[in-house]
Structure 1
Amino acid sequence: MNTASAPYPIGTSGVPWGDVERAEWLSRQNRQRSYESEVLSAIERLRSRFDLEEYGCLDYGPDYYPLMAIRSRDWNDDLPVVLVTGGVHGYETSGVHGALQFVDQHAADYAGRVNLLVAPCVSPWAYERIHRWNPNAIDPNRSFHEGSPAEESAALMRLVAPVRDRALIHVDLHETTDTDETDFRPALAARDGKPFEPAGIPDGFYVVDDSENPQPDFQQALIKAVEQVTHIAPADDSGEIFGSPVVAQGVIEYPLTQWGLCAGITRAPYRTTTEVYPDSSRVTPEQCNAAQAAAVCAAIDYALAHQ
């Protein structure tokens, strides 16, 4: 376990990584699960009900990953567009499988009311290695901007470009895990040559609103739906989650577009990042997936009622 008193095993403290350190980090990453058998097979089973689209591919030789999106079969340009993304951080399992569960179990409820565009696993290389970054040690969820260095992010932006200005909703499905504190945040600090500052992990579900266009009632609709499935994260002793003030139960705010976050890639008036907490003893993987699906349903229900 990496802690503030145990330096990260790659690199020199206080010195940003170069090519040698990135190569050493990459050499330590091992495939732990299969994108093909766990994700692509699940997407393929939806083919009889939805249109499937390969919107790009990742060539991380010798590994090759088709990037797949799911669309409403009867796409109608007169209907509002709902974008759902998962697996931007590949290790965040319920983001991927929650998106797939929403499509499989709930999408039919919205047929003829919205156009659905779902990219369930934006970062398949990281999905297989249960990691936050791509093989170049780049975080795709800080890379949604022009000239993106992350092909995962660039490919998704190309997919979304035709609906960017007319999307009604974007729900980006994530998790906050204990390994954020024990592995991924220490790795980030080491990569950037900065000290690791422990922050603690919020115990429960929360959402991230857009500080540049907050929609508090919309976010609360998601919280109310999800608290029927899993518990909501409380604020810490400082009234914060990860250093951001809790503005309402289970809600914090980030400048989504400014920070290059996935939830900021459209001009949708209703945007959110969900954060499930899968490491709690109070939840199961099934509950985590159900919480993500419930959040998407609540988002659509709210937006359609308030157009």
Structure 2
Amino acid sequence: MTTAGLEPIGTPRQPWGDAERAQWRARQVRRRSHVQDVAGAIEALRERFDVEQYGELDYAPDGRYPLLAVRSRNWDDALPCMLVTGGVHGYETSGVRGALQFLDAHAARYAGRANLLVVPCVSPWAYERVQRWNPEALDPNRSFRDGSRAGESAALMQLVAPLRGRFLMHIDLHETTDSDESEFRPALAARDGKAFEPGGIPDGFYLVDDSANPQPAFQQAIIDAVAQVTHIAPADADGTIIGSPVVAPGVIEYALGPLALCAGITGARFTTTTEVYPDSPRATPEQCDAAQVAAVCAAIDFALEHAGDARGPA
């Protein structure tokens, strides 16, 4: 791994131990404030929504990090539940901003129609350091499983557990960035003692459906909405996006459960992971945030429209 001109950590082809993980953590620098950017924005929503702290991460000596969720004020057990998560990877900024913008500008129109649970920033330590991993060099978005060692993942699963089986929709907001290829994939290879195999970064927005529960009409509704805001990623020459076959324009599939991905934690009928490309010369940061908001609104609208379907449209 070479990051920002630093020398590689560890010995090639040998997985990291505690010393290498500590060396990696020591290089992480706080670059922005979760308190100012996220907690402050959530606090401003308290007059309109119920705000709760569902946990706290003690990452001494860096500090303690509150985990914050926002709920519909008049929660009605008769209504379908919708989960929106952002910032599972702290460096993926538009997911955090998109979730907050959705709450501020659009969530009110679902009052009396759906219960909303929104977690704008699952990984506050990583948000401050513009990082993918938590301080233990663990990827939270590969850690949503029983007995998870990632505190971010374990806390979110505990928050969701009482409502599991009642969620109709879960949308998890992510980005694919140039730093995936220049920093995070090389770091992953180094951490795991593997050779780094260069890949490509798709130019545009795409979605990740659940291969065990594909919902193509749901994904298409989101793609159609986002296409009004920013461009959709094309398939590469092999007909893939990040190595996965494109099953519809801008859509690939992963096994969400076996891969321990966030979008697989609810058992919801409609699930998806968004992937915005903020480094595209064809998109601004504002467009990326707006794409996330458009995706959330389209996902909720589609789920509500098809809530009465026995299995959801194919």
Same fold (TM > 0.5): yes
Counterpart position of 2:234: 234
Instruction: Give the distance between the partners of 1:284 and 1:120, measured in 2 at CA.
Output: 21
Residue 167 of structure 1 is matched in structure 2 by 167
1:7 CA drift (Å): 11
Residues 191-237 of structure 1 show CA distances to partners (whole Å, capped at 9, x for unaligned) of 00001111110000000000000000100000000010010000000
Residue 13 of structure 1 corresponds to: 12
Q: Does 1:203 align with 2:203?
A: yes
Post-superposition Cα deviations, 1:234-268, rounded to whole Å, max 9, x if no partner, equal: 00000001110000000000000110000000110
TM-score, reference length from structure 2 = 0.95
Aligned to 2:48: 49
Matches within 5 A, 1:142-181: 142-181=142-181
Q: Deviations over 1:9-44 (max 9, x none)?
A: 101110000011111101100000000011100000
Percentage of identical aligned residues: 72
8 Å Cα contact 1:8-1:190 kept in structure 2: no
Whether 1:248 aligns to 2:242 is: no
1-side partners of 2:189 and 2:231: how far apart? 30
- Stretch deviating more after TM superposition (279-288 or 82-91): 279-288
Aligned equivalents of 1:274 and 1:8: distance in 2?
33
Structure-2 separation of matches of 1:2 and 1:80: 46
Tell me the SS of whatever aligns to 2:291: helix
Partner of 1:34: 33
TM-score, L = length of structure 1: 0.98
How much has 1:282 moved relative to structure 2? 1.3
Kindly tell me: are residues 192 and 231 of structure 1, through their superposed partners in 2, closer, same or farther at Cα, counting changes over 3 Å? same
CA–CA distance in structure 2, aligned partners of residues 17 and 2 of structure 1: 15
Secondary structure at the counterpart of residue 189 of structure 1: helix
Where structure 1 has 5 or more consecutive residues not aligned to the other structure, the ranges are none
The one-letter code of the counterpart of 1:151 is G
1:157-194 deviation per Cα after TM superposition (whole angstroms, max 9, x unaligned): 00001111110000000000000000000000000000
- The residue that corresponds to 1:73 in the other structure is 73
- Which structure 2 residues correspond to residues 100-115 of structure 1 after superposition, within 5 A? 100-115=100-115
Change (3 A) 1:193 1:278: same
Aligned-residue CA RMSD (Å): 1.3
Deviation of the 1:8 alpha carbon = 6.8
Deviations 1:103-149 (A, max 9, x none): 11100111100000001000000000000000000000000000001
Give structure 1 regions of 4+ aligned residues with deviation exceeding 4 angstroms: none
- Give the Cα separation in 2 of the matches to 1:115 and 1:170: 12
SS at match of 1:65: strand
